[in-house]
Amino acid sequence: MAKKKESVFDKRLENYYDELKWLYGELYHGDEQAFNYFITMLRHFYDTRDKSLKEWDEKKEKNPGWFTGCNMLGMLMYTGCFGGTLQGVRSHLDYVQSVGVNYIHLMPLLESPKDRSDGGYAVADFRKVQPELGTMDDLYELAADLHSRDMSLCLDFVMNHTSEDHEWAVRARRGEKEFQDRYFFYDDWNEPNDYEETVPQVFPQTAPGNFIWCSEAGKVVMTTFYPYQWDLNYRNPTVFNDMTANMLFLCNQGVDIIRLDAVPYIWKTLGTSCRNLPQVHTLVRIMRIATQIVCPGTILLGEVVMEPSKVVPYFGTVEKPECHMLYNVTTMASTWHTVATKDVRLLKHQLGIAFALPKQYIFLNYLRCHDDIGWGLDYDFLRKFSVEQVSHKKFLNDTLRGALPGSSHRGELYNDDPKLGDARLCGTTASLCGIEAAEYELDERKLDWSIKLDIMLHAFLFTQSGIPVLYSGDEIGQLNDYSYHEDPIKCSDSRYLHRGNFDWKSAAQRRKSGTRQKRIFDGIKKLAGLRAKHRVFDCAADVWIVETWNEHVLGIGRYYNGEKLIALFNFGDYEETAWINEEGNYKNLLTGKKCEAKDLVVPAHDFIWLLY
């Protein structure tokens, strides 16, 4: 009798089965029933995955580094703000492509309560789209359209908690033990108070504490973020099985990049900080294996907003990888520190650490995103220059919100804690660069200066090692939106300052000569085109700090396959000399002119890309 041909699923499962069973058994104490259900669930999502998506997987499997090339450029956007609906986003894909973008990250769009959603991060149903944005069919059609253009789709997967309106939470409130066991329910405050001894507060001003009293259930519930976001109990294998199923459901709608939201928080142990525990890494590794078996074209992007020593472990190891990509949040914060101080020493120090990491560690780089700027800087390093943490944070915030004389930056504080001096900052890239103030004052000189800074920062973004992502609107220099102050739901959250609707009338100005929109759009488009053309920008390139002997000028070197790039960025207010001495004849990538890379003068708020 002929031997039955082994299926693609079975081959993939066989490759990982022993590790998968060992990890699952260690985490869930050898629960065979739960493990067998997990395997059956994986098979179901493979079997129900569309043929077109399986072909997409095969294409990606043949080129596993598809997301690491110099042509990768992302754009982050809110569906409602950018296109109104998912179909509206589809109608604007030509515009997105015109910037050079080939993957879009849609902010949370799954069903959630309008007045208790934290911007969509309190999910009431992981398998339904917020009705005003469209349907799951619309999401699938958008993904298919993107794939036909060789573009990818990223979506948030909120895994630490659900909305209090989620079916599990509703049934838990009614007293069903099976569903209370999916969360953290306590009969009294004894154990919650023990947790509070060691668990930090995420939002001490707007949502103090990590627990609330649920009067309907007559019990205490863990709510690490906001009272309406109930933490899931991943010690319960049913939670992990069902949440992994929800993730794979989204993958089967055509989502290529899964952003694991707040991943460090997902395992709780009494007597710890409940952050970055070893079990978190086991869960992420299992999720990586699950995608490798069901949908190997999928990329896991970890949201770990912490210092580098805590971020890097989420890559896993070369043999046992976890996340494919991680956010480079420290560089983002250090960049705005450098804008405020005009001193590149901290940025050099931080980049030097990042550049020394293995090349397979792929960072997602950005200037601005939907969130605030938190000042989690390397204060041990800054103390060498007599910088004190609390006073320095105040200086940064005062500078970047225009509270100091002569400052043209326009931001607002977020989550201000006067006692700890720990406020964070909000604002669009353009407003933080001074464009808003310059236009208000009708000061052309200041406007030129601010636009130069904006474009220089994007050039710096494109020079970093990893994948650059634009925040929708930054390509036209969109300004702060102060209308949120008039909205009773949004007014208490200053992050809505930079979450305004995309201004399509403003975008039309990108075709008009001399406008701020055209100057920034054309500048970023040119940078993206140059980056895509030269392999020296690949993630596989060697990258290092070039010493400029000038505290205002940052130097970065890149080398790949015979190409060498020297990039210089002047964060100062005056022209500065980069005291470099590189051998060979270089070409200025922006002007095409040849020059020597020796003692170069860099104008204020400007940059130079030299190719050898």
How far is the CA of 306 from the CAs of 39, 267, 302, in angstroms? 33, 17, 11
Catalytic residue among 111, 164, 231, 261: 261
CB atoms within 10 A of CB 358: 9
397-428 b/e with 16+ CB inside 10 Å = b? bebbbbeeeeebbbbbbbbeeeeeebbbbbbb
C-alpha–C-alpha distance, residues 228 and 122, integer Å: 7
Residue type, 314: Y
Q: Residue 338 corresponds to which tokens in the numbers above?
A: 């450098």
Given strand 219-222, what is the order of strands in its sheet?
185-186, 219-222, 211-214
Measured between alpha carbons, how far is 420 from 413 in angstroms, rounded to an integer? Answer: 14
Contacts for 32 with CB less than 8 Å, ≥ 6 apart: none
User: Which one is catalytic: 111, 303, 371, 493?
Assistant: 303
Cα–Cα distance between 576 and 496 in angstroms, integer?
37
Amino acid (one-letter) located at 567: A
Residue 596 is among the residues annotated as catalytic for this protein? no
369 three-class SS: coil
For residue 167, indicate whether it is catalytic: no
Does an H or E element contain 246, and which? Answer: helix 237-251
Query: What's the count of helices (H) and strands (E) in the chain, helices before strands?
Result: 22, 23
- Separation in Å, CA 151 to CA 67, 74, 101, 199, 246: 11, 10, 8, 41, 23
For residue 278, give every residue at least 6 positions away whose Cβ sits within 8 Å of its Cβ, in sequence order, or none: none
| Strand 576-588 with 563-570, pairing | unpaired
Which one, of 102, 204, 211, lies nearest residue 148 by Cα?
A: 102
Residue 359 backbone phi and psi in degrees, to 5: -65, -20
Note whether 553 and 602 are within 8 A (CB).
yes
Closest to 291 in 3D by CA, of 300, 278, 281? 300
Strand order in the sheet with 563-570: 542-545, 553-560, 563-570, 607-611, 576-588, 594-602
Q: How close are the terminal C-alpha atoms of the chain, in Å?
A: 64
Block residue for tokens 């989420």: 314
103: β partners: 74, 152
E-strand spans in 410-480?
A: 412-414, 424-426, 467-471
Known catalytic residues are: 261, 303
